[in-house]
Structure 1
Amino acid sequence: MVGYILLIVIHEFFHLLGFRIFCHVPWKNVAYGVNLKMGVAYATADQLMDNKGIRKALLLPFWMTGVLPAVLALYFNDGVLLLLGAMLIGGAAGDFAMYKELKKFPDHAMVKDDPELPKLYVYPVE
């Protein structure tokens, strides 16, 4: 259970890192926390980001906290790590759902992350 909670925290950190690397959002413009009402951890940015960059930021945690631990678990024959990786892969379902919706828009469209809900607002750029 502790490993799962730790990986959730790291998962959200990788969203922040993705916002920084792929969307060039300054650290001062990102936020991270837990919404106890909804029972979820979150990472958000308070500025517009390009669609191509935010799609990368959405999937970065999947690779780093899901796939990488699962691959390492298979290599080291570690059942607990494999279970944690599998749980985090499944936990990225919401990220994949948002990614799928964002694929409908051009790469250069601008996206605003809702600071309170798992929702994105897309502003097409002409």
Structure 2
Amino acid sequence: MNELPEPDHIIEIDLPKVAKSGMVWTVISFILLLAILVVLKGGFAFTFSFWDLLLFIGGYIALIVLHEAFHLLGFRLFGGVPWKRMIVGLNLKLGIAYATTDKPMTNAAIRKALLLPFWTTGIVPGLIGLYMESGILIGLAAFLIGGAAGDFAMYKELRKSPDNWLVKDDPERPKLYLYQPGRIGDTMMSSTESKET
């Protein structure tokens, strides 16, 4: 944030509140997916073994990685962010995985990038799980839908600002800095050009 002016607005997410919301959405999603399965198939029967548990854990880790990868893809597709300007990592202190960029994006673009993983790692596995009658996929989908609670919290706050405002993600905390159009264009262009040459 050292080369940027004071933001016009700051969005900071309350992680304990988001964690509670995520747990609620995980339970609701799981119950809803099971109810849909009962309606579609007339019932369900799951078996669960030690190998299923290992498969669930491996699938969960893989989908978390994919969740962050789809954020990066969203930055590229919707915000035009170059791959070399993207960062992905794990904050053990906060207990979160993250994907970010040092390049500001429009509010409209970052909102799309925020929700892309919800569809690809939550809804799609849920639909496949329903089709295959797979309890593992349904459970994974529920966890990933609940895991998108932070993204939805940011999305909800971003909807209060105009689409053309610029949004800069904080690289270390669940915080977004918003700027009216034109406030950081010249500053960011000069720093962007120096980084990319």
Structure 2 SS opposite 1:105: coil
Distance in 1, matches of 2:104 and 2:88, equals: 17
Distance in 1, matches of 2:113 and 2:175, equals: 15
Residue number among 80, 100, 106 corresponding to 1:24 in the alignment: 80
Structure 2 SS opposite 1:33: strand
User: Aligned residue for 2:42?
Assistant: none
Two-structure CA RMSD over aligned residues (Å): 0.8
User: Aligned residue for 1:73?
Assistant: 129
Distance in 1, matches of 2:174 and 2:70, equals: 16
Distance in 2, matches of 1:48 and 1:80, equals: 38
Deviation at 1:5, TM superposition (A): 1.1
Q: Which amino acid aligns with 1:77?
A: E
TM-score (norm: length of structure 1): 0.97
Contiguous gaps of at least 5 residues in structure 1: none
Structure 1 SS opposite 2:67: helix
Deviation at 1:22, TM superposition (A): 0.3
Q: How do 1:1-126 and structure 2 match up within 5 A?
A: 1-125=57-181
Distance in 1, matches of 2:152 and 2:180, equals: 21
Distance in 2, matches of 1:88 and 1:43, equals: 16
Structure 2 SS opposite 1:43: strand
Deviation at 1:57, TM superposition (A): 0.1
1:105·1:124 contact (CA, 8 Å) conserved in 2?
A: no
Q: Which amino acid aligns with 2:153?
A: A
Contiguous gaps of at least 5 residues in structure 2: 1-56, 183-197
Distance in 2, matches of 1:86 and 1:30, equals: 28
TM-score (norm: length of structure 2): 0.63
Tell me the number of residue pairs that the alignment of Structure 1 and Structure 2 aligns. 126
The structure with the largest alpha-carbon Rg is 2
Distance in 1, matches of 2:176 and 2:64, equals: 20
